[in-house]
Structure formats: C-alpha cells, structure tokens
Chains A and B, each alone.
Chain A
Amino acid sequence: MMADVRTATTGLEVAADEVTRFFERLFTSIELMQRAVQQRFAAGPVDTRGICDAVRPDVHALLSEGVVLGCGFVADRDALTDCSLYLAWWQGESQQLLGQADAPAGDPFDYTLREWFRVPLRTGQRHITGPYVDYVCTDEYVVTCTMPVIAGGRMVGVVGADTLAERMEEFLGDALRSADATLISDHGRVVVSADPQCAAGTLIEAPADRVPCGDLPLAVCLAHPA
C-alpha cells in the first residue's frame, strides 16, 4: 500500500517536471518580448508604430514555432503616446495584428479588467489564465500566459501568448497519462487530464497531495485518487 502511494507521487513529480519544462520554455520566449518592450520604453516615449516594430521580430519567431495561436504586447491604459488601449498582438495563420480591437458589441475593447491583463499587473507576477473561451480576440478555447512589463519604474502593460486548449492536450497528454494525472490551475480548473471524462475547464477540489509545477500557478494531482 505504502509503496503504491510512493510510486504514484514519483509519477506525479515526473509529470509536473514535464509540464514545468513546457511552460518555462514558453515563458522564456515571452521574456524576449518583455525585454524588447522594456528596451523600447527605455529609449523614450513610445507610439503604436514604435511598439509594433519593437516586438514584431520576437512575435514572428514565437508564432513560427507553431505552439501558440497568438502573442504580443498589450499596453496599459495611456502607456502609448497615440492610443489609450492597444494590442501589439498578432494571431492566426495569417499573423493578423489586433491593434485597436473592438468588442463584439462594437465598442472599443477594454481589456483592462480581463484576468490575463489584470492579474499580472496587480501581482507583478506571471500568470496563466484558463482554459477559457476568449470571445474577443481569438474566438477560441485557450490558455493564456502573461507577464507584466515594468519600464522606467511603471507598469506599461503585459506580454503573453495564447495556446489552444486542444493543443495543450496534444503537448501534455502523454506526460499526464503516464502518471494518471490531471493538470490544474491555481483556481482548481482542469487544463488537461489523463481521465477522458474529466473535461478541460472543470473545477475540482485541489487535493492536498498535489504536486506544484515549479513556481508556476499550476499543479498536478492524481486523476483517479484512491
């Protein structure tokens, strides 16, 4: 009995390591955009064209890896000189620029209250949102990784990337299945599970014996607890 528990825990640790490596790689790419934005802001006032030029190379590099659906920089209110709300964010096969996006109702899209924007700005930490249906930008079921950008002592916005929830299943499914594990966010929301009946997005009670994924806001737990 005891041996079983130990094996299970070790399995979870292996799965947690795999998940951590996946997200750390993604965040390393996001950090490149973060640095580009910081450098641009250090050089003086920034407008929409300036910010797009600054992040575009790193955005294209990340998009071409085929892991993320979209990525870029989203400005905090009035951080740019010529536009109050702006998304230097590219997405889709055609790598379309969001720019001054509109919400479905036709008004300009105020993203400042969205979890992926609000949380990293408030905590100063990187954040993982979802999986959730993003009905404003991608129209898809995604997981969004974001981190705050501080330049000249103030928050100027967030950099991040969207990944389709179904791609997460593809990338992390094997690792989780081999440990019969479920990956959950720090809200207890299922990202991917070895249990096919445990749908992405489901809220579960996070068990005490869950294994954290490094210092990411994620953990793995047993999909079928004894």
Chain B
Amino acid sequence: MTLRHASRSRSAIFAPLGDPGRATRVEQRLADAIRSGMLADGERLPSEQELASMLGVATVTAREALVALRNQGLVTTVRGRGGGSFVTRPKQSDESALQERLTHMSLVELRDRGTLYRVILAGCAELAAPYADELDAESLRDLLVDEGVDDVGAWRHASSELYLSIAALTQSARMTREVVRHEADFGVLLKLPLTSPEFRKATRVRHLELVEAIAAHDAGLARRAAQEQVAAAIASLVDLHAGVR
C-alpha cells in the first residue's frame, strides 16, 4: 500500500549496522525491505557511496550487496545519466520466484523466521479472541475458501487476508503493522505449500477451527489452531526446501 506510514520504519532500514564489512547483512536488510514493500517498486536506491556511508560499511561492501540484490532480481541498475539502482519488487504470486527464494534460504534461516512468525500469529489469535463480535466473526468466515476451489492464488490471498484480519482484531495498530510487514515478506513464502491439494484441505480444517475458536472467544483454542497451521506450513516448506536443493 502506497500510503503506509513508511517513515516510521524507513529510518531503521538505513541505520548504521553494528558490525561493518558484512555484505550479506546489507543485502538481507535491503531484500527484506523490498519484499515487505517498505521500499517501493521503482524507487531509486541511494548510490553505492551514499548507501555505504548511511550503513557505515565500505563502498566495496555496499557494491557487493547491490550485485547480490541484482542477481536476486530485487534491484535493477540503469547506467548513464538519470541512472542508478532501482527497486524491483517481485510479483508475489510468481511461483518460481518463491521457489528461488526458498533455495536461497538456509534451513536454519527458514526455522528462525518460522519461529518468529509462528509466535506472532499464535499470539495474535489468542489476543484477538476476546474482541471478535458477530460481524467480525462473519468477515473471518468469509475468508475461508471452499474446498472445491483450485485457484491457488485465491487461497493465498484469502489466508493472508485472514491473518491480517486476526492481527487487526487484537486492537493494536502496531501489532497489525508488524503482521502486515511479515505477511508481505515471510508470509508469502509460507503460502507456497498451498499448491498441494492435501495441504489446502488440511488448511481449511485448521482455519475453520481457528475462526470458530475466535468467534467463540476461546483464546486457548485459537492459539493452538494458529500454531498448528504455521507449524504444518513450516514442516511442508522444509520438505520443499529439501526437494529443491
């Protein structure tokens, strides 16, 4: 969304890194910012020199990071006057781009991000449960996809929307902004297993359980259902990871 209060989080992107000389950390921070939409598609990145001085790293390190981002397709470099490095936000529904991202991720990083995401979503489900009124419950039910639907894009979209709605029900704007960020980043990867019909079927069961637990104000059950869904998605991603390596 273009009108996000970007400035709040943007300053963190360009804050000096504690441990200079690490191109991968520069690369990862910028990649996260691009995937999560904090850096907008088509936006011009600071020059190598500017980037280096903002992040407190050597120019050669900034250059190395930009090359890596270019190889990942997250940055396009235009030469000459009016040139520079421009943000290229990947199309999120692009299957092969997601596979590619998974390949670039270590199993440790996958679990690391998975744990963070799982705690956040389970916490949201638990804290959302007391706040859902009848209309909220109806809106959540509207986000459950019918078993017969084979459109993977619709499944991904609906489950992302479901998690955002649950985050919003915590009544915390900061928590919701955090989940928006995670959804646009790691959350996209977590929807990769939805290509499997079996996974979709199991997801529907768990999502139904999650929504009904929230509708019934059962915080414990809501937490458990969210936990199980994320755990299952991570387990499935680990399998996919083993397959593509």
Contact A200 B4 (CB under 8 A): no
Q: Is B184 an interface residue (CB 8 A)?
A: yes
Q: Is B60 an interface residue (CB 8 A)?
A: no
Q: Is B108 an interface residue (CB 8 A)?
A: no
8 additional A-B pairs beyond A96-B3, A104-B37, A133-B173, beta carbons within 8 Å, are A101-B1, A103-B1, A104-B164, A105-B160, A105-B161, A131-B171, A133-B176, A201-B131
Shortest A223–chain B CB gap in Å is 18
Chain B residues, CB < 8 A from A200: 171
| B79-122 near A? 1/0 per residue, CB < 8 Å | 00000000000001000000000000000000000000000000
Q: Is A42 an interface residue (CB 8 A)?
A: no
Residue from A106, A132, A139 in contact with B92 in the complex, judged by beta carbons closer than 8 Å = A106
Give the segment of B47-55, B133-141, B235-243 that binds chain A.
B133-141
Contact A139 B173 (CB under 8 A): yes
Q: Is B27 an interface residue (CB 8 A)?
A: no
Chain B residues, CB < 8 A from A134: 168
Q: Within the assembled complex, what's the spacing in Å between the Cα atoms of A203 and B171?
A: 11
Q: Is B183 an interface residue (CB 8 A)?
A: yes
| B161-178 near A? 1/0 per residue, CB < 8 Å | 100100111111100110
Closest to B217 in A: A203
| A82-122 near B? 1/0 per residue, CB < 8 Å | 00000000011000101001111111010001010000000
Given A98-B3, A139-B5; A104-B133 close (CB under 8 Å): no
Closest to B171 in A: A201
Contact A189 B168 (CB under 8 A): no
Shortest B59–chain A CB gap in Å is 33
Contact B131 A113 (CB under 8 A): no
Q: Within the assembled complex, what's the spacing in Å between the Cα atoms of A199 and B130?
A: 12
Q: Can you name 11 A-B residue pairings with CB atoms under 8 Å?
A: A103-B161, A104-B37, A104-B180, A104-B183, A105-B184, A109-B1, A135-B177, A137-B1, A139-B173, A187-B135, A203-B130
Q: Is A140 an interface residue (CB 8 A)?
A: yes
Contact A135 B168 (CB under 8 A): yes
Chain B residues, CB < 8 A from A96: 3
Closest to A114 in B: B139
Q: How large is the interface on A (under 10, 10 to 19, 20 to 34, 35 or more residues)?
A: 20 to 34
Q: Within the assembled complex, what's the spacing in Å between the Cα atoms of A98 and B164?
A: 20
Residue from B1, B5, B168 in contact with A102 in the complex, judged by beta carbons closer than 8 Å = B1
Q: Within the assembled complex, what's the spacing in Å between the Cα atoms of A12 and B167?
A: 34
The 8 closest A-B pairs by CB, nearest first: A201-B171, A133-B168, A141-B173, A187-B133, A133-B176, A104-B180, A135-B176, A105-B160
Q: Is B2 an interface residue (CB 8 A)?
A: yes
What count of chain B residues pass the 8 Å CB interface test?
A: 30
Q: Is B142 an interface residue (CB 8 A)?
A: yes
Chain B residues, CB < 8 A from A203: 130-131, 133
Closest to B133 in A: A187
Q: Is B157 an interface residue (CB 8 A)?
A: yes
Chain B CB within 10 Å, residue with most, of A102, A105, A113, A134: A105
Closest to B188 in A: A105
Contact A139 B131 (CB under 8 A): no
Residue from A102, A199, A202 in contact with B2 in the complex, judged by beta carbons closer than 8 Å = A102
Given A98-B3, A133-B173; A202-B180 close (CB under 8 Å): no
Contact B3 A135 (CB under 8 A): no
Given A91-B3, A115-B135; A105-B173 close (CB under 8 Å): no
Contact A113 B173 (CB under 8 A): no
Quick one: which of B121-152 are within 8 Å of A by CB? 130-131, 133-135, 139, 142
Shortest B140–chain A CB gap in Å is 12
Contact A132 B168 (CB under 8 A): yes
Q: Within the assembled complex, what's the spacing in Å between the Cα atoms of A118 and B172?
A: 23
Shortest B80–chain A CB gap in Å is 30
Q: Within the assembled complex, what's the spacing in Å between the Cα atoms of A187 and B136?
A: 10
